[in-house]
Amino acid sequence: MKFKRIPDHIGVIPDGNRRWAVGKGMEKKDGYHYGVSPGFQLYELCRDLGVKELTLYGFTTDNTKRPAVQKEAFQKACVDAVMDLADRDAELLVVGNADSPCFPEELIPFTNRVKFGEGSIKVNFLVNYGWEWDLNHQGGLASKDISRMDLIIRWGGRRRLSGFLPIQSVYADMYVLDELWPDFVPEQFFKALDWYQVQDVTLGG
Amino acid sequence: MKFKRIPDHIGVIPDGNRRWAVGKGMEKKDGYHYGVSPGFQLYELCRDLGVKELTLYGFTTDNTKRPAVQKEAFQKACVDAVMDLADRDAELLVVGNADSPCFPEELIPFTNRVKFGEGSIKVNFLVNYGWEWDLNHQGGLASKDISRMDLIIRWGGRRRLSGFLPIQSVYADMYVLDELWPDFVPEQFFKALDWYQVQDVTLGG
């Protein structure tokens, strides 16, 4: 095994789909479709390395203010991803505001954790997620079934959380790649893991 | 003016005091004293540039689990910093769990915002702060008088928030410098501001 230290829980901010599409001469909305396949490559790498939990930032309640064609495109990409995952191994939980019309109704059955195949890795998928919605939820955090993250990897160059699970992020190490998400290749993920090897964990102590 | 875009609110994580002290052949506890003066240099730079609000991470409830000599040293550094600020211009607010014996009693008067001199910049200082304490406070966020941050600058190389104001951090751009905090020089701050000039603000839209 190349990596001595494997994070239990990795969070992923797959940013840059729209910029990638524009760079390829496509419309912004077309980028989301090309973000689905990288997600599965990453899922397979994590599963094979023994990562216990993987959380992906799908879309936020703020994102739904974008033009309708973009909104429909990222909603569809999220539904496609879940339907494809159903044929693999995972324990899937979709977390987001399912009371809103922006939440794809096909995903409602997955707002309670569902086991696919052997269920060898927990996969959390944030769909129509909002940090204020999460924190102001009745009966505690809406995302309470998502554990604290050890490593957050963001694609697309921006060094910010953009509302990604504020509570689970408090002690996470954050690694930012300049490459846009649809240009994902495994080496980018390995670069993040290489960096993670040399981060120390103090948790304030 | 060199910078077209000045953040309204800058958060600072002044990390690396202990590593710096060890590197100089001193004891770990001795580093905190050398972190006070850089704080004032940074305060003056921010004030002169027209930054409206500056938040500094003093110490956390987790930090107080460190050896007693270290705890006493960072408590003293925080008290010294506040007493020195009282001779300058600022509107100071100290935020932290003042019900605990780890909170220096000299700082209790500043747990409500106090104006020094012209009060030309809001300064928030987290002292015996804990993110769980903040979020589970009766009557809303304990840090509710601290606004959302635009830019967070961390010294000491670690790319994480370490529990720094999870709510006010949700959209902040994060810039990490490898230099240890007591080695602060203004050029480091200008590097962070240079970087900030080219970050775009979308807030998820």
pLDDT per residue as tens digits for the range B123-159: 999 999 999 999 999 888 999 999 999 999 999 999 9
Residue at B203 is within a domain: no
Cβ burial, residue A44 (10 Å; 0-12/13-18/19+): middle
Find, in chain B, the residue whose alpha carbon is nearest to that of A66. Answer: B205
B18-28: pLDDT as tens digits: 999 999 999 99
What CATH number is attached to the domain comprising A33?
Answer: 3.40.1180.10
CA-CA distances (angstroms) from residue A53 to A12, A125, A177, B29, B149? 11, 11, 21, 38, 30
Does residue A136 lie within any of the structural domains?
Answer: yes
Contacts of A161 in chain B (CB under 8 A): 161, 169-172
A155 occurs within a structural domain = yes
Q: A interface mutation test: which of B160, B162, B201 has the most A CBs within 10 A?
A: B160
* pLDDT for B53 beyond 80: yes
Say if the Cβ atoms of A158 and B199 lie within 8 Å: yes
Q: Are B40 and B47 in contact (CB under 8 A)?
A: no
Is residue A120 a part of any domain in this protein? yes
Helical spans, DSSP H, in chain A: 17-23, 36-49, 68-85, 131-135, 186-197
Closest partner residue to B131 (CB to CB) among A66, A163, A170 is A170
Test B205 with A162 for CB contact under 8 angstroms: no
Q: Does pLDDT of A204 surpass 70?
A: no
Residues in chain B closer than 8 A to A163 (CB atoms): 170-171, 204
How high is the pLDDT of residue B1? 54
Span A10-54, pLDDT tens digits:
999 999 999 999 999 999 999 999 999 999 999 999 999 999 999
Per-residue pLDDT, averaged over B169-174, amounts to: 97
- ipTM associated with this complex: 0.95
Instruction: Say if B202 falls within a structural domain.
Output: no
pLDDT at B205 over 80: no
Instruction: Indicate yes or no: CB of B160 within 8 angstroms of CB of A172.
Output: yes
Q: For chain B, what is the domain count? A: 1
pLDDT exceeds cutoff 90 at B117 = yes
Dump pLDDT digits (tens) for B76-98. 999 999 999 999 999 999 999 99
| Residue A4 located in a structural domain | no
To the nearest whole Å, the CA of B110 is away from the closest chain A CA by: 24
* Residues of A engaging B, defined by a Cβ cutoff of 8 Å: 60, 62-63, 65-66, 131, 135, 158-163, 166-167, 169-175, 199, 203-205
- A94, HSE (Cβ side, Cα atoms, 13 Å): 26
Query: What is the span of the domain harbouring residue B24?
Result: 9-195
Contact B66 A169 (CB under 8 A): no
The token pair at B110 is 């500043």
pLDDT of residue A201: 72
Residue B127: beta bridge partners? B59
Determine, for residues B169 and A159 on separate chains, whether the beta-carbon distance falls below 8 Å: no
Residue A1 has pLDDT above 80, yes or no: no
Question: Which parts of A31-169 are beta strand (E)?
Answer: 53-60, 90-95, 114-116, 122-129, 151-155
Decide: residue B33, CB within 10 A, 0-12 exposed, 13-18 middle, 19+ buried: middle
Q: Is A125:A56 a contact under the CB 8 Å cutoff?
A: yes
User: Does residue A2 form part of some domain?
Assistant: no
Residue A204 lies in a domain: no
H/E run at residue B194: helix B186-197
